[in-house]
A and B are shown apart, each in its own frame.
Chain A
Amino acid sequence: MSHPPAPPQTGSIPAPEQRLHPLSWLFVLLQQLKQFLLPVLILLLFGAGDGRQLWGLIAVAILVLVALWQYATFRYRIESDSLIVRSGLLERRLRQIPFARIHNVALQQSVLHRIFGVAEIRLESAGGSRPEAEMRVLKLADAHALEHLIRQQARSAAAAARAYPDGPPSLPESDTARDLLSLPLSEVMLLGVISNRGLLVVGAALAAVSQISPDLLRDLAEPLIDALTDWLNLQPLGYAQYAYAALVPVLALALLLQALSIALALLQYAGFRLTETGSRLTIERGLLTRLRTTASRRRIQAWTLKEGVFQRLFRRRALHVDIAVSRDQSEQRSFREIAPIATADTIDGLVRHVLDQADWPPRQWRALHRYAWLRLALPGLCVAALATVLLGYHVGPWGLLGLLWIPWAVLAARRHLLHAGYAWEGELIAVRAGWWSRHWRFTELNKLQALRLCRNPLDWSMGTASLWLDTSGAATFAPPLRIRFLPIADAQALQAQLGAQIARRPLRW
């Protein structure tokens, strides 16, 4: 520790090395404890008595040592065009991160961070499985300074590196932030109602509990059910009263779930603001843990606009973007949801504003193959056939009721086809699909990567093909940028034309 290795000569004025906040070991420790929480808890709970608690303590002590050691070895230095991070326990790691390569800067402040006046910063670049640098934790002022500096540097570095003539005229970059979207409390609560996240959380919790201790749920539920049946047996009730009696807990449960969903939405999205500073977009959100993440608008690789059934009921949509950064565990921390909930007009305006080389929505959507509804209905038809056979086997002629599914499947497919389509206008390429739950996915030509044309036997019989357009950093569960059921000649022509257009546009990310 006493003799740090000489910094690499980069030909610029060497800046002083800086350390993390002295308390950073505490937060590293907390982070590690979070990972080991379950094993440690199990050790403490079930290992009572026979000296195993001692092992838990030893483990915690080791973790404390590791955290202290990490704090002691971590240094960073700001050079003229890059950030140099030196860290390492036994093997030393020196990392040089050019500002121009940083795609996303995320600053996070939990309640504990706020108590100590510190913050955590993550710098992400394209690709890789981990963030380029993770500073856990810096003094708040230092964190803000670093964030600001990276923004400034990245901007000047990017401006120096490129001089594209017909790109966006480099705007007079000002530091005044402009509000693009901010969500009032009522919208955040509506988001909770729409997202129904409470159901997911409760489901996940139940699953986790049943994994850890399969009998626990039954042990908890049995006395309840017993008491309930006893009580019901004592009351002479009619059918209507039974129905009410059943309705009350169901309603109560639904309300509880909604309340939980709203609470979760408030925790995550309260105070949501999307602002624009020069060419950089910043998302701020969170009630207890404040999160601020910043990315340049040209880092956006693809856009996803979604409208589910509930969203349509309340006339809202959600807009997500992909940026090409590591997709690891903390997906919700990265720069993704730029408009979690907003009206269609607001979102269209936002997209138009941020996409400066293209217009949105496209003036004209091109339709898919006119018989594509046959293909869209196919899964439904198979379900109907299967249901009919199974039902027929069990209940005889009544099984033919299964065929009633066919008109529905056909209707759904035809409605879907009406809404499905693609558009290529100027720099914009867009795909839309869905009926009940709709989505639009679009990107600019210079963000496209490989183009893949696929045909399966059904495609051969109909003379169609699907064209997959690949972009960077696509989320695992995002709908694909894929044009299905194109007539084969169109698909081949589109692939060739797009390929030629992409070849004229250097990759900019």
Chain B
Amino acid sequence: MTETPAKGSAMQASDSASGADADRWQALAPQARVIFMLSGAMTALPAAIAARLLTRIFDLPLGWTAACAAAVLVGIIGVWVGWRRYQLTLWRLDLYAFSVRRGRLWQTDTRVPRNRVQHLDLRRGPLERYYGLATLIVHTAGTRDSSVALSGLAQADAEALRDVLARQSEHDLAAGDDHRSDAVQTHPLPPR
């Protein structure tokens, strides 16, 4: 595992991307870190159960100790992974597209052109509501990437993003199929 700070790579990439964009990669809301770490820690439970079952099946001693050890070990790794996932999940809204970047070793960078947004969902679970967060789900007409979900956005950001992206697709509908009319419109996000 490399310990290179995530920010560095994000900035580099945004420089090499299309020159038109002024917006940079943005991190998720700080409160979201807790949720990411918690969801990482959740892996402790199946690990404990698996350890207990394995000790039972193979008749090994120290069943419950092994289960606890597995839970602690996997839990710690899970928390670390969650923390890294939080750090490495970035989003960006530029002139042309809404982008989401995830991970580092297995990195994906999904770019949804703004006029390809079909509809948008905002989802808030109980924990997210407690921390003032929301999940934005962007739907396209595609097949494999027909929906791109980004969780851990501050609620205000998520709503602003939703409104901006929705306005864009509305604008497209209104403009019909005329692609001469400089269909790219800028709808900058309101300042946080």
| Contact surface of A with B, Cβ cutoff 8 Å | 126-127, 161-167, 324, 446, 448-457, 460, 468, 470-474, 480, 489, 492-493, 495-497, 499-500, 502-509
Contact = CB atoms under 8 A, between A and B. Distances in A.
Contacts of A496: 17-18
A503 B179 contact: no
B175 interface: yes
Interface string B43-55: 0000000000000
B110 interface: yes
B183 A460 contact: no
A480 B144 contact: yes
B101 to A, nearest CB: 9
Contact of A504 (B111, B144, B179): B179
B149 interface: no
A449 B140 CA distance: 7
B141 A495 contact: no
B177 interface: yes
Contact of A450 (B13, B20, B95, B111): B111
B16 A493 contact: yes
B185 to A, nearest CB: 10
A161 B177 CA distance: 8
Contact of B17 (A448, A455, A470, A492): A492
Across the A-B interface, the 6 shortest Cβ-Cβ residue pairs: A449-B142, A470-B142, A503-B96, A162-B177, A496-B18, A450-B145
Contacts, number: 134
A506 B144 contact: no
19 contacts: A126-B141, A449-B141, A450-B111, A450-B112, A450-B116, A452-B144, A453-B111, A454-B107, A455-B107, A457-B105, A468-B145, A495-B17, A500-B20, A503-B184, A504-B179, A504-B184, A505-B179, A506-B172, A508-B177
Contacts of A474: 142-144
Interface residues of B, number: 37
B110 A451 contact: yes
B141 A500 contact: no
A324 B172 CA distance: 19
B111 A499 contact: yes
Nearest to A460: B105
A454 B179 contact: no
A165 B180 CA distance: 8
B59 interface: no
Nearest to B99: A499
B3 interface: no
B110 A452 contact: yes
Contacts of A473: 143
A162 to B, nearest CB: 4
B65 interface: no
Contact of B110 (A448, A450, A456): A450
B113 A506 contact: no
Given A495-B17, A504-B183, 19 more contacts: A161-B176, A166-B180, A167-B177, A449-B116, A450-B111, A450-B113, A452-B144, A453-B111, A455-B108, A457-B106, A470-B145, A474-B144, A500-B95, A502-B115, A502-B116, A504-B184, A505-B183, A507-B172, A509-B141
Contact of B111 (A164, A452, A460): A452
Max chain A CB contacts within 10 Å: which of B16, B145, B179?
A: B179
A166 B183 CA distance: 15
Contacts of A446: 179
B148 interface: yes
Given A449-B116, A492-B13, A507-B116, A456 B105 contact: yes
B148 A450 contact: yes
A454 B113 CA distance: 17
Contacts of A161: 176-177
A254 B184 CA distance: 60
Contacts of A453: 107-111
Nearest to A324: B141
Contacts of A126: 141
A446 B172 CA distance: 14
A453 B112 CA distance: 11
Max chain A CB contacts within 10 Å: which of B18, B144, B183?
A: B144
A492 B177 contact: no
Contact of B113 (A127, A452, A472, A502): A502
A34 B92 CA distance: 52
A468 B141 CA distance: 15
A336 to B, nearest CB: 14
Given A502-B115, A504-B179, A504-B184, A492 B16 contact: yes
A475 to B, nearest CB: 9
A126 B146 CA distance: 13
Interface string B111-130: 11111100000000000000
A470 B105 contact: no
A290 B97 CA distance: 45
Contacts of B143: 470-474
Interface string B165-181: 00000001001111110
Max chain B CB contacts within 10 Å: which of A457, A480, A506?
A: A506
B105 A164 contact: no
Contacts of A455: 106-108
A225 to B, nearest CB: 41
A495 B109 contact: yes
A164 B179 contact: yes
A499 B97 contact: yes
A472 B18 contact: no
A506 B115 CA distance: 6
Contact of A162 (B97, B110, B112, B176): B176
Nearest to A165: B180
Given A500-B20, A500-B96, A452 B145 contact: yes
A407 to B, nearest CB: 31
Given A162-B176, A472-B141, A506-B177, A452 B96 contact: no
A502 B172 CA distance: 13
